[in-house]
Chains A and B, each alone.
Chain A
């Protein structure tokens, strides 16, 4: 195999796609800062995390080539996110639904 011959299944993402993604990421960073200055009460955090997750998804799919890797590697990624969701959701739902012996709801003070 010659040195310049590309790896056959190695998907090459073009610089144009990388450029589009970085511009989207910078735009979304501006959007998240702008959204933080709007009073949405408890929904500020929801919007901030939604934008962050959109940015992270773009990075994972394109910069990290997750869109182009074998299915078993994608399964590992999805399993990791699922496990993180279990950690956060189960623990938080336990805390916020807990009532102590005096009948006082969390945070018990």
Chain B
């Protein structure tokens, strides 16, 4: 069926129809909360048991890139909210503009994530056979993106962590498994969100969203904001475990 906002038989008014769609989306988002909640629980437990390895792993992440991505994602939530406002007030040109901006910011996020992931591959910080948390301090020439001061600090932190946890290399892999698992699933959600945004943009160019009917913009907005909330938790949990050393 081609959905353009006609009133379906089971509803009395368009308002009631929209409230029902919103309720349905929230029920879906609650299942997403449970999905990410289970992963957060596994993370919490491992962090509790292997704190030294998790703190060490966290400090090898780039706070600059992570912080920048946090700002980008928050900004994309703002542009998404503005797209919803534009639809509610029938400003059809602005809907397309704000949707396009949201997509653009989403792709900036992907770009930064690509830089971060490739850095981890170069630094041998991807769980598996070649994982070596000591790789950079043992091969400084191969990690020339780390400044000598940071490298000296990392060496000292690694020595302390190794003293506290002799099996540091194995346990740091747990941290990095959590890092790639959680950020990877978050990024997958963003890819799906970006696909939905392209679909909205196509419909927006056709001019079908207005004050009378804008349910898809609202619903995809809810999804996009939810993905933003996941990142709001991931950022401190992954990047800020033990920065005060």
Give chain A's interface residues, CB within 8 Å of chain B: 1-10, 12-15, 18-19, 21-22, 25-26, 29, 32-33, 36-40, 44-45, 48-49, 51-52, 55-56, 59-60, 62-65, 69-70, 72-73, 76-77, 79-81, 83-84, 87-88, 91-92, 95-96, 107
Contact = CB atoms under 8 A, between A and B. Distances in A.
The residue among B44, B221, B232 with the most chain A CB atoms within 10 A of its own CB is B232
Contact of B34 (A19, A32, A69, A84): A84
B244 A10 contact: no
Contact of B14 (A7, A21, A56, A79): A7
A38 to B, nearest CB: 6
Given A12-B88, A76-B23, A36 B243 contact: yes
A87 B38 contact: yes
B15 A10 contact: yes
Interface residues of B, number: 55
B224 to A, nearest CB: 9
A39 B244 contact: yes
Contact of B211 (A4, A15, A91, A96): A4
A29 B228 contact: no
Nearest to B66: A33
| Listed residue (B226, B229, B235, B237) with the most chain A CB atoms within 10 angstroms of its CB | B229
B19 A3 contact: no
Interface stretch (B76-84, B111-119, B143-151, B190-198): B76-84
Given A52-B232, A92-B41, 19 more contacts: A13-B81, A13-B85, A26-B71, A32-B236, A36-B243, A40-B244, A48-B236, A49-B233, A56-B229, A56-B232, A64-B225, A73-B19, A73-B22, A73-B23, A79-B30, A80-B33, A84-B33, A87-B37, A88-B41
Interface of B: 14-15, 18-19, 22-23, 26-27, 29-30, 33-34, 37-38, 40-41, 44-45, 48-49, 63, 67, 70-71, 74-75, 77-78, 80-82, 85, 88-90, 210-212, 218, 221-222, 225-226, 228-229, 232-233, 235-237, 240-244
A69 B29 CA distance: 15
A92 B48 CA distance: 10
A3 B221 CA distance: 21
A35 B33 CA distance: 26
Contacts of A8: 15
Nearest to B63: A33
A30 to B, nearest CB: 9
Most chain A CB neighbours (cut-off 10 Å) among B29, B74, B235, B236: B236
B54 to A, nearest CB: 11
B85 A59 contact: no
B82 A52 contact: no
29 contacts: A3-B90, A3-B210, A3-B212, A4-B211, A6-B88, A10-B88, A12-B89, A13-B85, A15-B82, A18-B82, A22-B78, A32-B235, A36-B236, A40-B244, A49-B236, A51-B236, A55-B232, A56-B229, A59-B225, A59-B228, A63-B77, A63-B225, A63-B228, A64-B225, A72-B23, A83-B30, A87-B37, A91-B41, A107-B49
